[in-house]
Every structure is written in C-alpha cells, then in structure tokens.
Amino acid sequence: MCAARAYALTNRNYVRGRAREYRAKATLFKMGALYVHRSYGSHGVFDLVAVFRREVRLIQVKRDYIPKWELKRLKDFARQVAAPNIFVELWQYPNRRRMITRLNAPAATGS
C-alpha cells in the first residue's frame, strides 16, 4: 500500500486531534517544559504529561467538546492527586483559541 493511500485511510478526527496535541506540546516547550510525553492512541487518561522544574502537568487536549463521562473521569482523578505541584488540566481549542482549565486547585499552604 502506498503512503498516499495509507494517509487517505487515516481517520480525519484522529489526524486533527494529533495535530492539536503536537501544537500543545510545542506550546509547553515554549512555556519552559523540560520534558513532554505524548500518549499515543488514547491509551490513558491524559494526552500529554509535561515536566517543568517545579511542577508536573497532566493534560487532556480537546477541540471544544468533552463528553460528560470523560470530564467526570478527569475530575475524579484530579481529586485523588494530593501533591501540591501536580496539576490536572483540560486544554480546549474552541474557535482556534487555547482555553486552559485547571481541574485541581493547588493545595493550601500555611495554617
């Protein structure tokens, strides 16, 4: 099978989602990430894991809509994260603009 034919068989939504993830990955490096891992083929809760000097971001990337069950899964996971420097984020791109929602607030410090 030639490369052009293989590309034609690729799911259009997958190609768009992958491009969005690569764009987010490039943005994270511009923001100062030391390492960014992309989870291939939706084999996990998160699309990207970004490691910065003082924090780790677990990111789900979507165009605009996120199914209720998936949002619930992300929020449930975010509630379980107790470390103050690990953040669960939802990056959405409605109308080609980035919107970042942090699903877990940083832990309160002090008394």
Structure tokens that stand for 99 in this block: 């919107």
CA 77 – CA 85 distance, rounded (Å): 15
More confident residue, 96 or 73: 73
How does the average pLDDT of the chain come out, rounded? 85
pLDDT score of 97 more than 70: yes
pLDDT at 83: 87
pLDDT at 25: 95
Q: How distant, in Å, are the alpha carbons of 58, 61, 71, 72 from that of 76?
A: 13, 17, 9, 6
pLDDT at 17: 85
Q: Are 22 and 93 in contact (CB under 8 A)?
A: no
pLDDT score of 9 more than 80: no
pLDDT in tens, 10-64: 688 888 888 899 999 999 999 999 999 998 876 678 999 999 999 999 999 998 8
Reported in sequence order, the residue ranges of the chain that DSSP labels E, i.e. its strands, are: 35-38, 48-51, 56-62, 86-92, 99-102
pLDDT at 111: 44
